[in-house]
Amino acid sequence: MAMEVAWIRGDGIGPEVTEAAIEVIAATGASVAFVEVPAGEKAYQEYGTAIPDKLLEEIRRVKVCLKGPLRNPIGGGYGSPNHFLRRELNLFASVRPNVSYPGIPTPFSDVDITVLMHNMEGPDAGIDRYLGANREVVEHIGVMTRDATKRMLHFAFQYALDRGKALAIPHFADQMKCYEGSWLRLAEEVGQDYPDVEFRGFLADNLAAQLVTRPQRFSLIAGHHMWGDLFSGLCAGLVGGGSLATTINCGDEGVALFETGHGVGDDLAGKDAANPTASIVAGRYLLEELGFSQEASRIDCALREVFSNGEHLTADLGGCASLSEFTTAVKQRL
């Protein structure tokens, strides 16, 4: 019997890139059945919410989900469906790998940096509101709790220990003594339980400067929500851009969400022009989670061959191939 996986098409280019990933997964022969669940703009129009209860129920039932990007209205509208989904499913950790591929023109080679982001808390995950009748004052309060932060840091140190990697912790503890100071102090406290993990705190601006000059020095970065989001975007740029950015969201309840790390790409939607790599890579990690390790490895090898050959690169990578041509090239190399 095929293993069921929930499927969120997403908004903008979401349907196109997730369909490409499903095509590639099907071409490997892995026994997986995708069950579409409502989310995003269409769900909001039909149910009055971008994340209906039936979506959450289905993901909890099958445990695994392939997700396209969901629109997060800017400056108004409904709250971020991406944040809400992760928090409702208690997916407190976001794993964001950034790996160099042969054939992709970038300033650096041999980059392999994973960013671990705390999904639940951070300076940008707290209270955000206007004060006064004319909105003349804005108040923003970041929220950090000891238990949730330590849970995330234990995840990060264990991840580093399992893979033999050094761990970098960005912070602004010199400026924000309480908030960022607590983040750093808790990292130091948790780090005492992992004496075999090499750990170092970095002022965030210093870490950013080092990443854009000597990225090969780093392999693992862990941050609260704001630093995780910022450094995962920076590292994606080091290896070719947001179209290659994949995110795996996980927690301690057996549920995992595999998604693109990029946005909805409205300028490319419906034009067969988007790069589906991030969604295909998300599908590769999804197969690993389900136990299809050989099929996952074949996808990775096929992608590397397509990039190295260079004949079917999409426009964002300097080529002229369409989304469907790129997808076909990957399938042919499986």
Q: Taking residues 55-80, what's their average pLDDT?
A: 88
pLDDT at residue 286 above 70?
yes
pLDDT tens for each residue of 153-180: 999 999 999 999 999 999 999 999 999 9
pLDDT at residue 87 above 70?
yes
Q: What's the confidence (pLDDT) of residue 173? A: 94
Q: Which fold has domain 1-89+268-334?
A: Isopropylmalate Dehydrogenase (3.40.718)
Q: How far apart are CA 13 and CA 264, in angstroms?
A: 6
Backbone angles phi, psi at 73, to 5 degrees: -55, 135
Q: Are 96 and 114 in contact (CB under 8 A)?
A: yes
Q: Are 265 and 274 in contact (CB under 8 A)?
A: yes
pLDDT tens for each residue of 249-261: 999 999 999 999 9
Q: What's the confidence (pLDDT) of residue 233? A: 95
pLDDT at residue 125 above 70?
no
Taking the domains of the chain in order of start, what are their residue ranges?
1-89+268-334, 106-239
Looking at the domain covering 106-239, what would its CATH class be? alpha beta
Q: How far apart are CA 31 and CA 51, in angstroms?
A: 28
Pair of tokens at residue 9: 């098409």
pLDDT at residue 75 above 70?
no
pLDDT tens for each residue of 96-113: 999 999 999 898 989 999
Q: How far apart are CA 96 and CA 221, in angstroms?
A: 10
> What is the overall mean pLDDT for the chain?
94
pLDDT band at 1 (very low <50, low <70, confident <90, very high): confident
Least confident of 106-110, 190-194, 209-213: 106-110
Q: What's the confidence (pLDDT) of residue 129? A: 86
pLDDT band at 189 (very low <50, low <70, confident <90, very high): very high
Do 1-89+268-334 and 106-239 show the same overall fold?
A: yes
Backbone angles phi, psi at 201, to 5 degrees: -85, 145
Long-range contacts of 235-238 (CB under 8 A, 24+ apart): 235/96, 235/98, 235/111, 235/113, 235/115, 235/211, 236/96, 236/98, 236/261, 238/98, 238/106, 238/107, 238/108, 238/111, 238/113, 238/211, 238/212
| Residue 142 or residue 234, greater confidence | 234
Closest CA to 261 of 300, 231, 289, 293: 231
pLDDT band at 76 (very low <50, low <70, confident <90, very high): low
pLDDT band at 150 (very low <50, low <70, confident <90, very high): very high
Question: How much of the chain, in percent, has pLDDT values that exceed 70?
Answer: 98
pLDDT tens for each residue of 24-33: 999 999 999 9
pLDDT band at 315 (very low <50, low <70, confident <90, very high): very high
pLDDT at residue 126 above 80?
no
Whole-prediction pTM: 0.93
Count of CB atoms situated within 10 Å of the CB of 102: 11
Q: Are 221 and 116 in contact (CB under 8 A)?
A: yes
Helix, strand, coil shares of the chain, percent, nearest 5, are 45, 20, 35
Would the CA dihedral through 252, 253, 256, 262 be positive or negative? negative
Question: How much of the chain, in percent, has pLDDT values that exceed 90?
Answer: 85
